[in-house]
Amino acid sequence: MNKRGIALILVFIIIVVLTILGASIISRGIAETRILQRTVESTQAFWLAESGLMESLFALKANFNAANIPLTLLGQGVYNAIIGPAVAGTRTVTANGCMPAGCNCNPLACRTIRTIQATMAAAAGPPPANFYNNVIYAAGGLDVSGGSNAERGNITYALSLNGVANIVPGTGVLTRDDSINPLAPLDYNQLRQISRNQNNYHDATHNPAWPGSFWFDQPNRIPNIVFTEGDFTIHGNTQVSGFYVVGGEVACDATLSGNVAVDGCIYTRGDFTVNGGGHAINIFGGVWVGGIATLHGGVDLRYNPDYMNAIQNLNINTVVQMTNWRDTQNPYTLQ
């Protein structure tokens, strides 16, 4: 075989190899593009399902006998929500987010479907009888395992206890009561409005100074109500006063770190954490916690019945709340 023949064979082999490599690269690129498309659309569908869930929550707050949320176009997709019948004071909501918009949440036509299921509990009128009688009211559990803590007042908790509560003798008792879970949901709209009227409302664009006193109008026994949209975090050598409502439609956390003192009360549907720094009194009032109440370091909490009575006299009712939810990933195919 001459050199030209050998060269021709080598060129042919190289062309075949390059063709295979090129096809492999193109195939991989197509696969990665589909994976990216699937990921993006799955995230969009989840947000759509969340929209259906939130619309259901607002509808049930207005009327616990509310009907299903119809198919709704939003952006490049659609959502709907099916609200189940009332069972023992709760209704189950199944919210679907679907892509693309023209699929109408038909599984045979959708490229992506995400489903969120949640349980909504009916409003229960005023909070429970013992709601205002505790220095700690922890619906998710209590962790007092870290540091030397001192509590002066009743402690009521549900679900779990980690460590030993150090209630000063004669000031209160420790009670486990699983019925307080989930935490009684106070009417955030009512509290927001009072907070705005007092210029104590905090969000991403509005952050007035913290009140210097628990009382907004002491002669009439009206407290400062500080409503914070999102987590409430205070650290350093700081003192704040008032009734702090850690808000939002989802659970937000409250965290105190260092020599922080709160002359008042805190309500949060999320977790509450105190990393004490040896301050004389970390909380002079009380806390309500939907999640875990964690006390670390040198922490001193003291119940203040005067403050609690003032908050109780606001006559804040409870509202419909979301007690649990889960994300269900349905099978889907890209077309």
pLDDT of residue 335: 43
Give Cβ neighbours of residue 323 (< 8 Å, ≥ 6 apart): 90, 119, 120, 121, 182
- Mean pLDDT computed over every residue of the chain: 86
Q: Counting beta carbons within 10 angstroms of the beta carbon of residue 171, is it exposed (0 to 12), middle (13 to 18) or buried (19 or more)?
A: middle
Lowest mean pLDDT among 4-13, 70-79, 175-184, 277-286: 4-13
Who has greater pLDDT, 259 or 133? Answer: 133
Instruction: Confirm if 237 and 258 have CB atoms less than 8 A apart.
Output: yes
Give Cβ neighbours of residue 309 (< 8 Å, ≥ 6 apart): 132, 221
Q: What is the pLDDT of residues 92-125, one digit of tens each?
A: 999 999 999 889 899 889 989 999 999 988 876 7
Question: In 3D, which of 205, 266, 206 has the Cα closest to residue 234?
Answer: 266
Q: What is the pLDDT of residues 118-176, one digit of tens each?
A: 998 887 677 888 999 999 999 999 998 876 677 899 999 999 999 988 899 999 999 99
What percent of the chain stands above pLDDT 90? Answer: 47
Q: What is the pLDDT of residues 11-39, one digit of tens each?
A: 777 777 777 777 777 767 666 666 667 78
